[in-house]
Amino acid sequence: MFKKSFDIGINYWPAKKAMYWWQHYDLAEVKQDFARLAAFRFHTVRIFLTWEDFQPHPDVISARALQNLVLTADCAEKSSLKLVPTFFCGHMSGVNWLPYWMVNMDANSSRRFPIFCQNSIQKGQVKNFYADQELMLAQVEQVSKVSRSLQGHPAIHSYDLGNEASNVTIPHNREQACHWLAAMVDAIKKYTDIPITLGMHAEDLEEDRHLWPQDAGKFCDYLCMHAYPFYLSWIKNPLDYRLVPFLSIITAWLGQKPVVMQEFGLPTLPSAPAADENQEKQKYQLFQEETAAQYEAQVLAALYAHQFPAALAWCYSDYAPSLWTLPPLDQNIHERYFGLFHYDGSPKKNLTAFKEVNWKKYTSGSKYDLGWLQNYSPDRYYDQPLDHLTAMFSLYQKSLPVGGIS
């Protein structure tokens, strides 16, 4: 499933397109970007199939989007990269990107994340795609058409069933979640034996959102976790790299499958801040590139020391200023600057963290004791998930060698 003992990959949106990539597809841009990633020895590239672009109507899969997806896979193959296409995108960078038929436009409801639909932010309520049979059939249509289009393609590493889907909608119960998982996996397996995963995030461990790692592990070949310390209120230090392997450990313990850290990273300070980047509008701290380099090297070393198979950085590039007035970058300013490359293609200082010689210097080689898990039961974890998670993190910290891995 993985190329070597520890694979390093990256999440990809083009610098000049961001989430509007498939609307304005540029093959030359993809070729250039993938060649750059290969030159820096990345192996796996996770891409996202924005739902409205690939499925404008429930029974229509865009032929143009499918053609461009195949071209993207061809580019990956030529650059010796492996792709992880992510279905039903869905939630991305603080916005839910959805086709019109996934939204009840007549409903007014309070929601945490804005809905982007038909090229603008819309009011409305997201329909529950776990519960609605017609929506289930539409999703089966998407995974089937994509799997068939890419059937046998040597560049496909695995398929991801969604990016932080619990930020879009939540199944009513675990049975509903398992039914959805079974339907999606069965549809893909008709065309390929490519591994399947699911992009879960920290909030899936903080709350019972009815799709547990235990259930995902029954259907997926490997599991994924996303970890950003600065997003979590119970983490005191926004640079506490220990959170990243810890969440991976908990996911593996619950799901009993290999776990990939599918997203981690830090937004960095721009060389020339934009006029709208005032303190009132900026929600999250931006970090020096040197700080990000140390943090990311420590994360990689810790994941390697715990023998996790792979890690994917968030993300490829900062976004071009021409995108800053558009969702999600107009409101979520920190999302402009997560890249390992500047928007002009030049590397940031923290890119050096991904060179093996730099992150391995933090690795102690010690065997880590997981005995702190013995008093907990996966079956009872979701009785009080946040209480359990915070208590377990304290125990995990105490179990580490003095000084951690640095």
11-34 average pLDDT score: 98
CB environment 177-196: b (16+ within 10 A), e (fewer): bbebbebbbebbeebbebbb
Least confident of 77-91, 252-266, 348-362: 348-362
Q: Chain-centre distance of CA 5, in angstroms?
A: 21
Cis peptide before 265 (omega within 30 of 0): no
Q: How far is CA 186 from CA 26, 103, 143, 180, 189, in A?
A: 33, 26, 10, 10, 5
Q: Which of helix, strand or coil describes residue 41?
A: coil
pTM greater than 0.85:
yes
Report, in this order, helix, strand and coil percent for the chain, each rounded to 5: 40, 15, 40
CB atoms closer than 10 angstroms to residue 253: 17
For 159, the enclosing helix (H) or strand (E) is strand 159-163
pLDDT digit string (tens) for 337-375? 999 999 999 999 999 999 988 899 887 655 678 899 999
Question: Residue 108's pLDDT is what?
Answer: 72
Alpha-carbon distance 192 to 68, whole Å? 20
Phi then psi for residue 13, to 5 deg, are: -135, 140
Nearest to 339 by CA among 242, 269, 279: 269
Q: Which of helix, strand or coil describes residue 89?
A: strand
Question: Residue 152's pLDDT is what?
Answer: 97
Alpha-carbon distance 39 to 314, whole Å? 18
Question: Residue 361's pLDDT is what?
Answer: 87
Q: Hey, what domains does the chain have and what are their CATH numbers?
A: 7-399 (3.20.20.80)
Question: Residue 364's pLDDT is what?
Answer: 64
Least confident of 137-151, 209-223, 360-374: 360-374
104-118 average pLDDT score: 85
152-181 average pLDDT score: 97
| Helix residue ranges per DSSP H, 3-90 | 27-39, 51-54, 63-78
- The residue with greater pLDDT, 363 or 197, is 197
Question: Residue 256's pLDDT is what?
Answer: 97
Answer yes or no: is pLDDT of 111 > 90.
no
Answer yes or no: is pLDDT of 165 > 60.
yes
Alpha-carbon distance 33 to 64, whole Å? 21
Q: Chain-centre distance of CA 209, in angstroms?
A: 17
Alpha-carbon distance 65 to 20, whole Å? 12
pLDDT digit string (tens) for 272-293? 766 666 555 678 999 999 999 9
Average pLDDT score over the chain: 94
Least confident of 23-32, 171-180, 242-251, 270-279: 270-279
Task: Check residue 194 and report its DSSP letter.
Answer: -
- The residue with greater pLDDT, 46 or 362, is 46
